A and B are shown apart, each in its own frame.
Chain A
Amino acid sequence: MGRMRAAFLAAIIGMPIATASGALAETDATITLLAAGCANCHGPDGHSPGAMPTIAGASVDVLKAKLLAFRKDEAPGTTVMVRLAKGFSEEELIALAEHFASLKP
């Protein structure tokens, strides 16, 4: 993860902003943990073996737009994602979109 994004994440997640590697490791751990919650349905590292879409390596713009639309309930007919996305902040959803977009498809 880039230093700037880490600092951004640290800011939104409420961790102390620091350039020391320890703080970076903590921020990485936070995004890793957030993303791990997606694997239960979208598969390990976003590689889905089933009906849910694979999100690893997807377009970052598409992922962001979808997640933010779920959060605002602007995705009619959606099953669980409209219920789950409301549990995260916009910043967290953007960070998740960037995380999964950066993985190998």
Chain B
Amino acid sequence: MSTIVHAIDRRGALSLLAGGAALGVGRPSLGQGAAGRVIVVGGGFGGATAARYIRRLDPAVEVTLIEPAERFYTCPFSNLYLGGLRDFESLGHGFDALRRAGVSVVHATAEDVDTAGRTVRLSTGDTLPYDRLVLSPGIDIRWGALEGYDEAAAEKAPHAWKAGSQTKLLRAQLEAMEDGGLFVLVAPANPFRCPPGPYERISMVAHYLKTNKPHSKILVLDAKDQFSKQGLFTDAWAALYGDMIEWVGLSQDGKVVRVDADAREVETEFGNKHKAAVLNVVPPQQAGLIAERAGVTDDSGWVPVVPATFASAKVEHVYVVGDATIAAPMPKSGFCANTQAKVVAAAVVADLAGRAPPAPVWVNTCYSLIAPDYGISVAGVYRVMDGKIAEVEGSGGVSPREADAAFRKREADYGAGWYAAISADTWGA
């Protein structure tokens, strides 16, 4: 069947849509009676923020949020739980406030997207139509990319890079570890979720061990030679934890090439073997599966986007936010997912109303906690320059290398303030 559909869309422009029965003759370009139907997939920092802000900007838009979990547990601050500074439930956020804001929340998994027919198929069997789709899929582990590290291995050597049972498993292993044991963290090459995350985790594990099991040691085997906020972390490690932490980078044979989860042993590129009492593997990652199903990923496994709007660079009427996107120099952080979602919300509302989107500005601040009273941060402001996302010159940067204890304490307090604020902004109070 060969059909040519001429349609006048809301912008009044003539669209010529060629071929494909999937399009359907005379299919209205927008949901009837409404300003448009938007489906948001993923209830994390990116998705929940997009859903809320679309409703805020235009209450006439129908917004459906698809998220399997009834409570969403955040990766940010899960390291504080590992360090014994927070209880697990404090990381959980429900969706009642989103419902009160008029978002219809469906607890299901989005299994597939038909981008031609503009529908999303759910694990419940339902198929929902959309005018615009926002994907906030987060990351998936690339199982098998690191030899020996598959889903079964993760039950013995947890990644804890998605908050939930994995985080609890790692905490339980830490609690069960004998004083004097070796905690080994395997850190991946870039790009991966939360660049300072592995090093904050090391700091929080060190805090726990120093407090409870002071003869223990920590070894970081890293597939890179440099990491986020490196000088600030290493200064603080030396000052607070003495010789407890050893970091080995790529050039010093830090790259792990094989994991034996049963033996809790890893082997490096140049054949060194390290046996751990607790083995935490942060493995290679890619965009969450639904991104691939929707056809928005590229060869790298991540999602290219149009910088000004975070519309997919590959598929029409689809927007993507958060860790899944190629947005560097913006890092893969919850903060960035949240600000990207606000840009997407503004762009989607403008798009549905036939207006140009507002000029985007993105902000990021990542706090890392090294000890209860010792916080550090990296910040940045980003805009589109020469068609690319770029950090505004002169803005941003890390906490000063030389700062007094009061400054570090203040950043620790601001870190907690940030978590409270962004949680309220994303999921509502």
Tell whether any CB of A sits under 8 Å from a CB of B in the complex: yes
Which A positions have Cβ atoms within 8 angstroms of B? 13-15, 22, 25-26, 29-30, 32-34, 36-44, 48-52, 77, 79-80, 83-88
| A40-B418 contact, Cβ under 8 Å, with A25-B355, A26-B356, A33-B346 | yes
Chain B contacts for A42, CB-based, 8 A: 421
Query: Can you report 27 A-B residue pairs in the complex whose CB atoms are below 8 A from each other?
Result: A13-B359, A25-B355, A26-B355, A29-B357, A33-B360, A36-B53, A40-B335, A40-B363, A40-B421, A40-B425, A41-B418, A41-B422, A42-B421, A43-B421, A43-B424, A44-B428, A49-B429, A50-B417, A50-B418, A51-B417, A52-B414, A79-B377, A79-B410, A84-B395, A87-B363, A88-B361, A88-B381
From B360, B365, B399, B428, give the contact of A84 (CB < 8 A): B365
Bound together, the chains give a CA A38 to CA B346 distance in angstroms of 16
Total inter-chain residue pairs, C-beta < 8 Å: 130
Bound together, the chains give a CA A26 to CA B357 distance in angstroms of 7
* Chain A residue at minimal CB-CB distance from B397: A83
From A38, A77, A86, give the contact of B395 (CB < 8 A): A86
Chain A contacts for B198, CB-based, 8 A: none
Asked if A52 contacts B346 (CB within 8 A), the reply is no
Asked if B418 contacts A26 (CB within 8 A), the reply is no
* Chain B residue at minimal CB-CB distance from A45: B425
Per-position binary interface string of chain B over residues 350-377, scored 1 when its CB falls under 8 Å from any chain A CB and 0 otherwise: 1000011111111101000000000001
| A52-B421 contact, Cβ under 8 Å, with A29-B358, A36-B339 | yes
Asked if A49 contacts B424 (CB within 8 A), the reply is yes
Bound together, the chains give a CA A50 to CA B377 distance in angstroms of 17
* Chain B residue at minimal CB-CB distance from A27: B358
Task: Confirm or deny: B143 has a beta carbon within 8 angstroms of a beta carbon on chain A.
Answer: no
Interface size on B, residues (CB 8 A): 48
Task: List the 3 shortest-distance A-B pairs measured between CB atoms, nearest first.
Answer: A87-B381, A50-B417, A87-B395
* Chain B residue at minimal CB-CB distance from A42: B421
Asked if B358 contacts A26 (CB within 8 A), the reply is yes
Asked if A83 contacts B425 (CB within 8 A), the reply is no
Task: Confirm or deny: B315 has a beta carbon within 8 angstroms of a beta carbon on chain A.
Answer: no
| A40-B392 contact, Cβ under 8 Å, with A49-B429, A79-B399, A79-B414 | no
* Chain A residue at minimal CB-CB distance from B419: A50
Bound together, the chains give a CA A36 to CA B397 distance in angstroms of 21
Bound together, the chains give a CA A84 to CA B425 distance in angstroms of 19
Chain A contacts for B418, CB-based, 8 A: 40-41, 50, 52
A7 CB, min distance to chain B CBs, angstroms? 16
* Chain A residue at minimal CB-CB distance from B356: A26
Chain A contacts for B358, CB-based, 8 A: 26, 29-30, 32-33
Bound together, the chains give a CA A85 to CA B377 distance in angstroms of 15
A28 CB, min distance to chain B CBs, angstroms? 9
From A33, A36, A48, A79, give the contact of B407 (CB < 8 A): A79
Asked if B417 contacts A41 (CB within 8 A), the reply is yes
Asked if A40 contacts B377 (CB within 8 A), the reply is no
B80 CB, min distance to chain A CBs, angstroms? 14
Asked if A51 contacts B416 (CB within 8 A), the reply is yes
| Among A32, A40, A48: residue with most chain B CB under 10 A | A40
